Amino acid sequence: MNAAHSAREILEIMLRHLGYTVTIEMDEDPTGPSLHVRTSEPHALIGRKGERLDDLQHLVNKLLRRKYPDAPRVRLDVENFRRREIDHFLSKILKLAEQVHASGQPVKLDPMNSYERRLVHNAFKDHPTVRSWSPEDAGRLKRITLLPRQPAAE
Integer Cα distance of 87 and 59 in angstroms: 25
Q: pLDDT per position in the chain (154 positions), as tens?
A: 688 899 999 999 999 999 999 999 998 877 788 999 999 999 999 999 899 999 999 999 999 999 999 999 999 999 999 999 999 999 999 999 999 999 999 999 999 888 888 899 999 999 999 999 988 877 777 889 999 988 655 5
pLDDT at 109: 93
Q: In 3D, which of 23, 116, 3 has the Cα closest to residue 77?
A: 23
Phi, psi of 110 (to 5 degrees): -65, 155
CB 32 within 8 A of CB 75: yes
Q: What class, spelled out in words, does domain 84-148 have in CATH? A: alpha beta
Neighbouring C-beta atoms of residue 15, cutoff 10 Å = 17
CATH superfamily, domain 3-79, is K homology (KH) domain (3.30.300.20)
Q: Enumerate the domain spans of the chain.
A: 3-79, 84-148
Q: Helices in 34-80 by DSSP H: which ranges?
A: 42-46, 51-67
| 76: β partners | 35
